[in-house]
Amino acid sequence: MNKIIDVYLAGPRGFCAGVERAILMVQEAIKKYGEPVYVRHEIVHNKFVVENLRKQGAIFIEELKEITQKDRPVIFSAHGVPKSVPEE
């Protein structure tokens, strides 16, 4: 049996507070410390946001050993990291 359902889209739609805060954190770090700012993993799951942050001076890495400038800030993903990673 085919049943028709109504789908309602809430408005306005946008990023949740956590995503907005994560984006702002990277942008503020770039303003405060200059380029580059390293970010471990993509800070949000949105390719347009990630590309925009790259253009602003963020460098996304998977492993801390990828950091070539050791005096630069590193921002960890809001998705969490193993306890051993910050110790590196």
CATH number of the domain enclosing 59: 3.40.50.11270
Q: Does residue 5 lie within any of the structural domains? A: no
Give the global pTM: 0.77
Question: For residue 87, what pLDDT band results from cuts at 50, 70 and 90?
Answer: low
Q: Does residue 59 lie within any of the structural domains? A: yes
Instruction: State the residue range of the domain holding 78.
Output: 37-87
52/10: higher pLDDT: 52
Average pLDDT over residues 19-30: 94
Domain tally, the chain: 1
Q: Does residue 12 lie within any of the structural domains? A: no
Q: What is the pLDDT of residues 51-83, one digit of tens each?
A: 999 999 999 999 989 999 999 999 987 677 777
Phi/psi zone of residue 81: left (φ > 0), alpha (ψ -120 to 50 degrees), beta? beta
Q: Does residue 27 lie within any of the structural domains? A: no
**d(Cα 39, Cα 73) in Å, to the nearest integer?**
8
Q: Does residue 2 lie within any of the structural domains? A: no
Q: CB neighbours of 37 closer than 8 A, spacing ≥ 6?
A: 26, 29, 30, 57, 58, 59, 72, 73, 74, 75
Residue with token string 């410390």 = 33
